[in-house]
Structures are given as structure tokens and as C-alpha cells.
Amino acid sequence: MSNLLLQRVEVVREWANATTKLKYGGYDREIGIGIGSGYRCPRHNQEIGGYTNSYHTQGLAIDWRFILLARPLDIWKTENHNPTFKDLGLEFDAFYSLIGKTFSQIGLYILDNNRYFVHTDIGFQSRVFASLNGEPCPVEVLIKKGKELGIFN
């Protein structure tokens, strides 16, 4: 993994943890910013349908997944649900602005009504892209859908 990428990941992690000061059922809540995918060897990248020259195969990309840690741990971590930004105590617009300043490319994905992830990389091209249920779509459409579903606040 690129040192520059890891430094930028740390910026986002510090922001997220500094931003959330909520309580859940009397327990302190902390955000678990999971890395769903970081470096991938070319073979694994091909097996999962990644792009041939993916920045993941160069150690320049991260796919973010968010979980809400509580005591007892993993109260929100399930295969079929990601906590919403509201659950996390994060403002989506502030997160989106931060990653836009920190990374070259941003990919927003909603896989179904309950699961989403965010792709970021430090490649050489600046762009934002979106995918809704496996189909490319305009970013504005995806953000609107995410807000309708309650994923983004």
C-alpha cells in the first residue's frame, strides 16, 4: 500500500472519530471505518470482476465500509446492513467534501437498499462516479437515492 494513501486514510479516520460523540443505549459509540478492499493481487482482482488496471492492484485505492461499534461489539455489523450516516453521527455532505479534497477519485456505490460503500483512490485522474444496483448512474441521482433511502443524511 502506498504511504500517501495510508496517510490520507488516517485523515478520514481521525475526522470521523472526532466528529462522532454520540451515545447508544448508554454505551459510547465509535465508528469502525472498515476497509472493504485495499490492495488486490491481479488474480483476485480478476476473480471479483475488478477493472484490469485497477488502482487496487497498484496499492492506490481503498473501498470504505462503515460499521458502528458499540458494547457489545458488532451490534450493527451484519452482512445485510450498513449503518446510515445518521446512525454513525456523520454528515454525508461533510464526508463527501473531505474525501473530495483528500483523494483523486471517488466512487459511490449503492448495492441495494441497505448496503453501500465508497471507493477512493489517489490515481492520476480526478473524477467522481456512481453505481446504483450495479448500473452506472449520474452522481446526483445516486446521492438523491441515498438520501431517499436514508443512507445519506
Contacts of 51 (CB under 8 A, 6+ apart): 45
pLDDT in tens, 34-93: 778 899 999 999 998 888 899 999 999 999 887 655 544 444 444 556 778 877 777 889
Q: Give pTM, 2 decimals.
A: 0.82
The highest-level CATH class for domain 3-148 is alpha beta
Domain ranges of the chain: 3-148
Expressed in percent and rounded to 5, the helix, strand and coil fractions of the chain are 35, 30, 35
Q: Using CA atoms, how far apart are residues 28 and 19, in angstroms rounded to an integer?
A: 13
pLDDT of residue 68: 59
pLDDT in tens, 131-149: 999 899 999 999 999 999 8
